[in-house]
Structure 1
Amino acid sequence: MTISLPGSKAGRTSGRCAPSSEYRPGDGSRTSLVADDDEDSPGGVLDLSPEARRRRAASFRGRIENEVLRKAGPGTRVFMVAKRVWAGVYHDGFVHAGNFAYMALLSLFPFFIAAAAIVTIIGEQGQREASIDAILVALPRAVGSAIGPVARDVVAAREGWLLWLGGAVGLWTASSLIETIRDILHRSYGTVAARAFWQYRIDSIGLIFGAVVLLLLALGAQVAMTAVEHFVYAFFPALDEVVGGLAFTRLISGVILFGAILVLFRTLTPRQYQGSPYPKWPGALLIAVWWTFLIEVLPFVLGRFFSYDLTYGSLAGVMIALFFFWLVGFGVVVGAALNAALAVVPEEGAIDAGTGESEQ
Structure 2
Amino acid sequence: MVRHSLNYVSWKLRKVVAADLKTIYAASTVDEAQIRLQEFDDKWGADYPTCAREVADIWRRTSDFRGAQMVFCDLSSPKGGKGFIRSLEDVELATLSYAEVKALASGNPLVIEKAGVDAEVAKLSTLFSLRRNQRYVNESEVGRLPMMIEALAKKIALYAQDVARIEPQTMQGIALELAGRPVTGPDAVGEVLRGLVKAAKEEVRTGTRMIERVVGRFGGFDLGILAARGEEVPNLYLSGHCLYNAEPYQTGPALVAGLMAALESVSKHHADGVAQLEVRRKRLDDIRLELARTFEHEGRLVNLLARQRELLKQLDLDKDEMGSAKVDTEEVRQVA
Is TM more than 0.5 here? Answer: no
TM bin, normalised by shorter chain, reads under 0.3
* Larger RCO (alpha carbons 8 Å, 6+ apart): 1
TM-score normalized with structure 1 length: 0.19
Which has the larger strand fraction? Answer: 2
Tell which structure's C-alpha radius of gyration is larger.
2
